[in-house]
Amino acid sequence: MEHKVDEQYRLLKEQSEKLKRVNERIIDIFATAVEYRDAESGQHIQRVKSFTRIIAEELAKQYPEYGLTPSKIEAIVSVADCYDALISERVYKSAYALDKAFNMIINGECGMFSPKIISCFQEAREKLEQKALELQE
């Protein structure tokens, strides 16, 4: 009996590690895809790619069973792009403060995002803000 439990544990651990590697690879692939979304603005691309990676990593950590399908990737990119648009100055608006932008997304002022994506966005707040400040320099 103990041997079967040990074997099941080993198989579960192997599957978990495989899923982690697959999720890491998917994150790399779609973060790279985001990088090529808009060739005109390298700065914008770098920020969105960074924000996307942070949110996706949080999603993979919190919800490993969630999987990263194309529609889920699109949702992550959407919230990352929204965050970048809010904190960036545009010809038609000033940049919002990081705190204000974060709260606008959380409160649904910028559209509705999946509750799991929002949960990951909230958990990743500190990393997102650190990256935003780093990229402003």
Instruction: Output helix, strand, coil percentages for the chain, rounded to the nearest 5.
Output: 75, 5, 20
Q: Which residues contact 95 (CB under 8 A, 6 or more apart)?
A: 86, 87, 88, 89
Q: pLDDT per residue over 44-83, tens digit each?
A: 666 777 777 777 777 777 777 767 776 777 788 888 889 9
pLDDT of residue 34: 52
Confidence of residue 98 (pLDDT cuts 50, 70, 90): very high
Judged against a pLDDT cut of 80, whether residue 94 lies above it is answered with yes
Percent of the chain with pLDDT over 90: 22
Report yes or no on whether pTM surpasses 0.85: no
In degrees to the nearest 10, what's the CA dihedral of 38, 41, 46, 49? -20
Query: What is the pLDDT averaged over residues 92-118?
Result: 92
